[in-house]
């Protein structure tokens, strides 16, 4: 299997962006990335699963969800706020 490169900007945390993107898609019906990009992010996180740095939400990340390309668990308030902030100030929605 070929190595998967992280599809997001280097200054963004892939774990945070995974949860923000899932929240925007599943809970708000307002995707912040394409399905293809999200799938690539999931494959990247799955590939790097054992090497991912510590993150306060890493315990919510499962290989099963990454293989399925989804997250339907409970979203922490910080993810909801980060998603709103990203859409408002980065994407300027």
Which pLDDT score, from 0 to 100, does residue 92 have? 85
Give pTM, 2 decimals: 0.93
CB 7 within 8 A of CB 37: yes
User: 47-58, pLDDT tens digit by residue?
Assistant: 999 998 889 999
Alpha carbon distance 28, 82 (integer Å): 13
Alpha carbon distance 63, 10 (integer Å): 22
Show the low-confidence residues of the chain (pLDDT under 50): none
Report domain extents, the chain: 14-49+60-90
Tokens of 26: 């599943």
Alpha carbon distance 8, 41 (integer Å): 8
């Amino acid at each position: 299997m070929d190595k998967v490169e992280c599809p997001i900007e280097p200054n963004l945390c892939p774990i945070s962006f995974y949860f923000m993107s899932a929240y925007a898609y599943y809970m708000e019906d307002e995707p912040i990335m394409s399905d293809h990009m999200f799938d690539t992010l999931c494959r990247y996180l799955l590939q790097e699963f054992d090497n991912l740095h510590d993150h306060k939400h890493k315990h919510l990340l499962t290989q099963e969800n990454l293989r399925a390309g989804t997250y339907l668990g409970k979203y922490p308030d910080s993810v909801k706020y980060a998603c709103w902030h990203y859409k408002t100030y980065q994407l300027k929605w």
